[in-house]
């Protein structure tokens, strides 16, 4: 039997069944960050992400942007839990033929984004590999009262996103801005019930919220903010690597948020009871099943 028979998320579930944690773990596998006990007022957030040549970038890409992306995707995970990033370690696998100028520029991309978000690079590891591999782990903090997971969406909630979606392959996947500022604003001003960053595609990541929260959802295709590089609605729904925030709040909070910041956030649907499943409504008003598909490694 091959791992492809399980698929990425099937394999994750297979691992999760074997994992046992102690009382220091508030939330383990299954969210954007692990959540660990820290002190009476805060939780510690812990996340890691790996990017690989030929999957997440090519050697033709600017190494500065490759390095930047390696840290930015983990910053996006910290944002989706409402936290602030603090420390990171970097593991770097390189072919022996890699040029020093290439690596210097790659590391400058890491240094610049770490400085921008006041993240301390505190160590890591180096190894020889066949392809370029970057693996970043980040520790962050979040006030216990502000922690947001995927599991809190409630029927009647409004579903919102930051920014615009689709067409990320044309450059955004290397240049995106982690939505830390927006996330901190949201958790400090509103009661955010569930949140995730859109890394694998709107449909698939909405499916993660629905599964963890035990709910269904309905989104309106005409409400989805599409980027200038977005090819079509399928691109906006399924392509991924937008790294925007997808979140749910009450109807009251949604109305207040959209009145204050109508250009930064867009309401695209509502949370419904689980029995109604995931649905999308096209521009003609037709209701169709929304398959929670998107990018998968296997």
pLDDT for 13: 74
Strands (E), the chain: 25-27, 34-37, 42-52, 84-94, 120-128, 133-143, 158-162, 194-197, 215-220, 245-249, 265-273, 278-281, 287-289
- pLDDT reported for residue 298: 46
- State the pLDDT at residue 6: 65
The string of pLDDT tens digits covering residues 68-92 is 999 999 999 999 999 999 999 999 9
Can you tell me the distance from the alpha carbon of 244 to that of 74, in angstroms, rounded to the nearest whole number? Answer: 13
Tell me the sheet residues that pair with 59.
none
Q: What is the DSSP letter of 190?
A: S
Give the model's pLDDT for residue 72.
98
Question: How far is it, in rounded angstroms, from Cα 158 to Cα 259?
Answer: 14
Q: pTM for the full model?
A: 0.94
Question: Which residue ranges in the chain fall short of pLDDT 70?
Answer: 3, 5-9, 11-12, 293-298
Alpha-carbon radius of gyration of the chain: 19
Task: Return the pLDDT at 69.
Answer: 98
What pLDDT is recorded for position 19? 82
Set out the domains of the chain in order of their start, with CATH numbers. 20-145 (3.30.1330.10), 148-289 (3.90.650.10)
Q: In this structure, are residues 180 and 188 in contact, taking their beta carbons and an 8 Å threshold?
A: no
Distance CA 162, CA 172 (A): 14
Rama region for 67: left / alpha / beta (φ>0; ψ in -120 to 50; rest): alpha
What CA–CA distances, in Å, run from 74 to 38, 246, 284? 20, 16, 38
C-alpha atoms less than 13 angstroms from C-alpha of 262 in its C-beta half-sphere:
2
Q: pLDDT tens across 248-272, in order?
A: 999 999 999 999 999 999 999 999 9
Q: What pLDDT shows up at residue 20?
A: 87
- Residue 292: the pLDDT is 81
pLDDT at residue number 295: 54
């Amino acid at each position: 039997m091959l791992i492809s028979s399980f698929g990425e998320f099937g394999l994750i579930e297979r691992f999760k069944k074997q994992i046992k944690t102690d009382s220091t773990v508030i939330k383990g596998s299954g969210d954007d960050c692990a959540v660990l006990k820290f002190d009476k007022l805060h939780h510690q957030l812990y996340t890691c992400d790996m990017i690989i040549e030929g999957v997440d970038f090519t050697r033709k890409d600017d190494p500065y942007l490759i390095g930047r992306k390696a840290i930015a995707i983990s910053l996006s995970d910290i944002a989706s839990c409402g936290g602030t990033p603090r420390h990171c370690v970097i593991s770097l696998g390189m072919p022996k033929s890699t040029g020093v100028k290439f690596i210097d520029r790659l590391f400058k991309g890491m240094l610049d984004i770490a400085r921008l978000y006041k993240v301390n690079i505190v160590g890591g590891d180096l190894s020889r590999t066949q392809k370029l591999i970057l693996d970043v782990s980040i520790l962050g903090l979040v006030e216990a009262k502000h922690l947001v997971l995927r599991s809190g969406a409630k029927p009647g909630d409004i579903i919102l996103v930051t920014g615009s979606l689709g067409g990320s392959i044309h450059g955004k996947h290397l240049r995106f801005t982690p939505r830390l500022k927006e996330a901190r604003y949201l958790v400090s001003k509103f009661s955010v019930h569930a949140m995730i960053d859109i890394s694998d595609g709107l449909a698939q990541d909405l499916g993660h919220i629905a599964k963890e929260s035990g709910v269904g959802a309905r989104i309106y295709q005409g409400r989805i903010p599409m980027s200038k590089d977005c090819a079509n609605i399928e691109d906006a729904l399924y392509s991924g690597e937008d790294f925007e925030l997808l979140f749910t709040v009450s109807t009251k909070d949604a109305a207040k948020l959209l009145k204050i910041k109508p250009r930064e956030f867009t309401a695209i649907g509502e949370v419904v009871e689980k029995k109604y499943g995931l649905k999308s409504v096209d521009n003609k008003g037709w209701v169709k099943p929304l398959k929670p598909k998107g990018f998968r490694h296997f």
